[in-house]
C-alpha cells in the first residue's frame, strides 16, 4: 500500500472512531412537555374569580371557564404523534390548568392543539367512562340536547360607562365548530428527564373581537349552541377562542 493510501485509510479510521464516540455520547431516554393554559388581557394575567377590564368597554367577572383540548400532537422529529387525546381543564385556575406528557428526546417544530372535541370524541357515551375520565358524565360537560359542551364560560359582564350588567354563559358545542391550531415553536428535548415548559396564552379581548367577528356582550351574552342565531354565537366563540391562543416557551 502506498503512503498516500495508508494515510487515507488512517484518516478514515480516525473519523469512524470520532463518529462512534459521538454516537455513544448521544442522550437516550425521554423528556417531558408541560403546558399551562393561562388567561390574559392587555393589563396582565386573569384568574377565575378576577374581574378583567376588556377593550370593548366592559369589565368581566369570570366565574367559570372549563375547556376541552383534544388531539394534542407533538410535531417534528420525523413523526407527528398524538400525545393527549382529550383533556378537560380550567384555564386561569391554578392547579387545574396544565397537562404534561413524555416523549423520546429529539428536535421538534411545535404542537398542534384541538379546541373542543372531534366528531368521534363528541359521539362518545358519557356513562361508559370512569368518573375521573374527561368525557365522563360526572364532569358535567354532557347535555342530552347537544352532546358535549366544548367549553363552559360563565360570569358577569358590566358595561363600564353605564353599569348595566349582563350574565354571560357561553356553552359552545357541535362537530362543525371544532377548531385545530398549529403552534410553530421549535424546541429540543435533549436530556433525559428534562421538562420543557410552555404557556398557552388565551387573550380574553380576542375572544370577543376576533376573525369570526365581534361578540356583543349586551346582545350576544349567551349560547347553548341551539340552531339559528344562538349557534352563530357559539361558532364565533370557538373560532375566536382558537385565534386568541398563543404558545409561549417558558424554559
pLDDT in tens, 126-174: 999 999 999 999 999 999 999 999 999 999 999 999 999 999 999 999 9
**Cell numbers given for 150:** 366544548
Q: Let me know: does 205 contact 42? Beta carbons within 8 Å.
A: yes
Query: Dihedrals φ, ψ of 101, to 5°?
Result: -140, 160
Whether residue 223 is predicted with pLDDT greater than 70 in this model: the reply is: yes
Q: What local confidence, expressed as pLDDT, does residue 146 receive?
A: 95
- Region 55-75: mean pLDDT is 97
Q: Residue length, the chain? A: 251
Q: What local confidence, expressed as pLDDT, does residue 29 receive?
A: 86
Whether residue 27 is predicted with pLDDT greater than 70 in this model: the reply is: no
Q: Let me know: does 83 contact 103? Beta carbons within 8 Å.
A: yes
Longest dimension (CA), the chain: 96
Domain spans of the chain, in order of start:
27-249
Q: What are all long-range contacts of 93-101, with beta carbons under 8 Å and residues at least 24 apart?
A: 93/47, 93/48, 93/65, 94/47, 97/36, 97/37, 97/38, 98/34, 98/35, 98/36, 98/37, 99/34, 99/35, 99/69, 99/72, 100/32, 100/33, 100/34, 100/35, 100/195, 101/32, 101/33, 101/72, 101/74
Amino acid at each position: 500500500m502506498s503512503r498516500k493510501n495508508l494515510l487515507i485509510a488512517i484518516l478514515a479510521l480516525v473519523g469512524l472512531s470520532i463518529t462512534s464516540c459521538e454516537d455513544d455520547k448521544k442522550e437516550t431516554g425521554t423528556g417531558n412537555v408541560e403546558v399551562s393554559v393561562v388567561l390574559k388581557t392587555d393589563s396582565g394575567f386573569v384568574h377565575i374569580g378576577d374581574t378583567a377590564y376588556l377593550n370593548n368597554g366592559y369589565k368581566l367577572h369570570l366565574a367559570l371557564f372549563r375547556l376541552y383540548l383534544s388531539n394534542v400532537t407533538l410535531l417534528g422529529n420525523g413523526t407527528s404523534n398524538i400525545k393527549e387525546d382529550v383533556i378537560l381543564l380550567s384555564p386561569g385556575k391554578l392547579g387545574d390548568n396544565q397537562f404534561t406528557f413524555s416523549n423520546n428526546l429529539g428536535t421538534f417544530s411545535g404542537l398542534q392543539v384541538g379546541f373542543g372535541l372531534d366528531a368521534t370524541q363528541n359521539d362518545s357515551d358519557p356513562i361508559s367512562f370512569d368518573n375521573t375520565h374527561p368525557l365522563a358524565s360526572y364532569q358535567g360537560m354532557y347535555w342530552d340536547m347537544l352532546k358535549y359542551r366544548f367549553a363552559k364560560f360563565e360570569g358577569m359582564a358590566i358595561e363600564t360607562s353605564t353599569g348595566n350588567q349582563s350574565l354571560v354563559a357561553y356553552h359552545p358545542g357541535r362537530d362543525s365548530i371544532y377548531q385545530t391550531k398549529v403552534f410553530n415553536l421549535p424546541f429540543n428535548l435533549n436530556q433525559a428527564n428534562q421538562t420543557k415548559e410552555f404557556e398557552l396564552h388565551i387573550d380574553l379581548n380576542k375572544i370577543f373581537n376576533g376573525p369570526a367577528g365581534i361578540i356583543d356582550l349586551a346582545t350576544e351574552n349567551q349560547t347553548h349552541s341551539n340552531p339559528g342565531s344562538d349557534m352563530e354565537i357559539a361558532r364565533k366563540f370557538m373560532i375566536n377562542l382558537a385565534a386568541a391562543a398563543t404558545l409561549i416557551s417558558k424554559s
